[in-house]
Structure 1
Amino acid sequence: MNLTATLIGQVIVFGVLVWFVRQFLWEPILHVLDDRKRRIADGLAAAERGHHEKELADRRAKEVIRDAREQASGIINLAHKRADEIVEESKKNARIEGERLITAAHFEIEQEADRAREQLRKEVLKIVLVGVEQVLMREVDLRVHNEIFEKLASKL
């Protein structure tokens, strides 16, 4: 076989192949490559957007956590303040109740003292009446009267 004829045959086959590819396959291959290039670019853009959105979400999450901590701190401070108010109110109520009990005890003591005075007055009156009766029963004698009054005074 002749080397030139083979080489010419291969060049013709290669030319037909190039024409065929250019005529029927070149546009679809370019279209597929462009489509793939566009999809890759879209994927990279989506990845970049996703990364950016993740950063934004992280920032928002940090802000929400910070706000939640501030709110929790505020609620805790408010609870402590309310607890202090309740304690102070309880102390105030206890003082008022104590004062009321002391006042009631003083009143009761005064009533008991009044009853004791009244009872004592009645006893003194009885003793005086007994003494007067004894004085009137006896003759009027200064020495005897003084003895009676001394006995009465000792009974008081």
Structure 2
Amino acid sequence: MNINATLFLQAVVFAILVWFTMKFVWPPITKALDERAQKIADGLAAADKARSELSAANQRIEAELAQARAESAARLAEAERMAQRVIEEAKARANEEAAKIVAAAQAEAEQQAVKAREALREQVAILAVKGAEQILRKEVNPAVHAELLHRLKSEL
């Protein structure tokens, strides 16, 4: 065989192989590579989207936590104000009750002082009558005695 024919035949076989590869083998490989590249691009896009969503979610969480802290601080301050108001009201009621008790005690003391004065007047009147009776050494008439006691009470 001739070397030129061999070279020519090899060139034809090589051309057929190139054509066959370009027509039947290369398109599925490029399609698979394109699909793989698209999947990778989609995965990267999804990762970027998830990262941005995570960042947004973290910002929302921080905002909600700040709002919850502010609300709890406001509620705590309101509770302290309410407790202070309740304490002040209780103090006011206690002061009112104490004033009522003191007034009642003063009124009772005044009544007891009046009763004691009356009892003392009666005892003084009786003692005065007994003293006068002993001085006079005679019995005084009960009607006169009652009138004398009454006069002494009014004078004392």
Give TM-score scaled by structure 1 length.
0.76
What is the alpha-carbon distance in structure 2 between the residues aligned to residue 6 and residue 108 of structure 1? Answer: 145
Which deviates more, 2-11 or 99-108?
2-11
1:113 maps to: 113
Change (3 A) 1:2 1:60: farther
Point out where structure 1 has 5 or more consecutive residues left out of the alignment.
Answer: 139-156
Q: Aligned pairs, how many? A: 138
Q: Deviations over 1:55-110 (max 9, x none)?
A: 21121011111101110110111111112112211211221121122112102211
Structure 1 position 31, deviation (Å): 1.6
Which residues of 2 match residues 31-50 of structure 1 at below 5 A? 31-50=31-50
What is the alpha-carbon distance in structure 2 between the residues aligned to residue 8 and residue 116 of structure 1? Answer: 155
Q: Deviations over 1:19-74 (max 9, x none)?
A: 22222222211221221121112112111111211121121011111101110110
* Displacement over 2 Å in runs of 4+: 1-17, 131-138
1:148 maps to: none
Give TM-score scaled by structure 2 length.
0.76
Which residues of 2 match residues 39-78 of structure 1 at below 5 A? 39-78=39-78
- The answer to whether residue 130 in structure 2 is matched with residue 130 in structure 1 is yes
Give % identity: 40
What is the alpha-carbon distance in structure 1 between the residues aligned to residue 100 and residue 61 of structure 2? Answer: 57
1:16 maps to: 16
Change (3 A) 1:34 1:135: same
Point out where structure 2 has 5 or more consecutive residues left out of the alignment.
Answer: 139-156
What is the alpha-carbon distance in structure 2 between the residues aligned to residue 5 and residue 64 of structure 1? Answer: 84
Change (3 A) 1:33 1:122: same
| SS at 1:67 equivalent | helix
Change (3 A) 1:135 1:27: same
What is the alpha-carbon distance in structure 1 between the residues aligned to residue 128 and residue 14 of structure 2? Answer: 161
1:89 maps to: 89
Higher relative contact order (CA 8 A, sep 6+): 2
